[in-house]
């Protein structure tokens, strides 16, 4: 996941506007913004110039910077980079900064990545998961498509944590996350929902296909083997899960998440170590 995000940011850092013209930039940046979430322009300006602006103002400033870049390029008869244009815009044109700071793209990538990921597991965080559900629901409604959500929870995790300590518990969380990443496809959004609960958003995926992915995750976790897992009521570390699909399971983000959660707890009540999708 990080490599893909870094590639996207490198593309921006090498200036889409410099490669193919302003029209191409106008098409490419919104697509990248959709991947990055609601504060993209604010993060972008902050990364470039160390200035914090509200999102709408940052978006307007970015448009002005792009225009200023093209004006400077025409006047100087050479291609002016977007960072140079941003510096001139804020320092000389608007007088909004006195001590400029330009951040390397890799640093921007690292900052941006940390804003949307869970530090322990490397999965996307709760907020990014919720943003993804909203985005996919809107897309499914507007385009007549479908998407699925998988909610997974480690069974009896507190027993394992209390018996073996938090370090061992963290190992289980990390290994579970690695299995989830392994079986997630490009375009899926695997996330740590909170504690020992995980969520995966699967664009363009029906419940039957989501069930296959969830079962692969559950099965591999069963065979993974963890230290002192004999203390668990089922004799090993296991997962329970629930699956919902949008928009058939509701018209809001909360409807979709609640439907998956309800099926997750149905799996728990039915004996655990299973996935429910109805």
Cα torsion at 10, 16, 17, 18 (round to 10°)?
A: 80
**DSSP per-residue codes, 34-92:** HHH-TTHHHHHHHHHHS----HHHHHHHHHHHHHHHHHHHHHHTSPPPHHHHHHHIIII
Cβ proximity of 205 and 260 under 8 Å: no
- SS3 state at 275: strand
Q: Cis before residue 232, ω within 30 degrees of 0?
A: no
Helix count and strand count (H, E) for the chain: 12, 5
Give the tokens for residue 83: 């960072």
Task: Give me the catalytic one of 196, 212, 230, 248.
Answer: 196
Active site residue 142: no
Q: Cα separations (Å) of 224 from 22, 229, 235?
A: 51, 11, 13
* Order of strands across the sheet that contains 189-194: 189-194, 197-203, 147-154, 239-246, 275-276
222: left (phi over 0), alpha (psi -120 to 50) or beta: alpha
CB under 8 Å, gap of 24 or more: what pairs does 261-264 form?
A: 261/151, 263/151, 264/151, 264/152, 264/153, 264/240
Catalytic residues: 196
């Amino acid at each position: 996941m990080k490599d893909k995000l870094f590639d996207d940011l490198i593309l921006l850092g090498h200036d889409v506007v410099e490669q193919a013209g302003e029209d191409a930039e106008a098409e490419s940046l919104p697509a990248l913004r959709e991947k990055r979430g609601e504060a993209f322009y604010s993060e972008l300006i902050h990364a470039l110039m160390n200035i914090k602006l509200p999102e709408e103002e940052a978006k307007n400033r970015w448009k002005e910077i792009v225009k200023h870049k093209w004006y400077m390029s025409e006047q100087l008869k050479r291609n002016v980079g977007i960072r140079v244009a941003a510096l001139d815009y804020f320092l000389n044109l608007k007088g909004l900064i006195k001590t400029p700071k330009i951040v390397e793209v890799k640093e921007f990538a690292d900052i941006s990545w940390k804003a949307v990921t869970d530090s322990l597991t490397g999965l996307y965080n709760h907020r990014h998961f919720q943003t993804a559900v909203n985005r996919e629901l809107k897309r499914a409604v507007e385009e007549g498509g479908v998407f699925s959500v998988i909610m997974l929870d480690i069974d009896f995790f507190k027993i394992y944590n209390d018996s073996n300590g938090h370090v061992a518990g963290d190992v289980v969380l990390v290994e579970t996350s690695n299995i989830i990443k392994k079986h997630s496809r490009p375009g899926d959004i695997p996330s740590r929902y909170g504690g020992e609960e995980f969520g995966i958003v699967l664009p363009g995926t029906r419940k039957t296909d989501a069930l296959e992915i969830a079962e692969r995750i559950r099965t591999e976790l069963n065979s993974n083997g963890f230290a002192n897992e004999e203390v668990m009521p089922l004799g090993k570390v296991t997962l329970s899960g629930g699956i919902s699909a949008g928009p058939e399971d509701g018209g809001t983000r909360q409807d979709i998440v609640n439907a998956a959660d309800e099926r997750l707890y149905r799996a728990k009540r039915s004996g655990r170590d299973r996935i429910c999708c109805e």
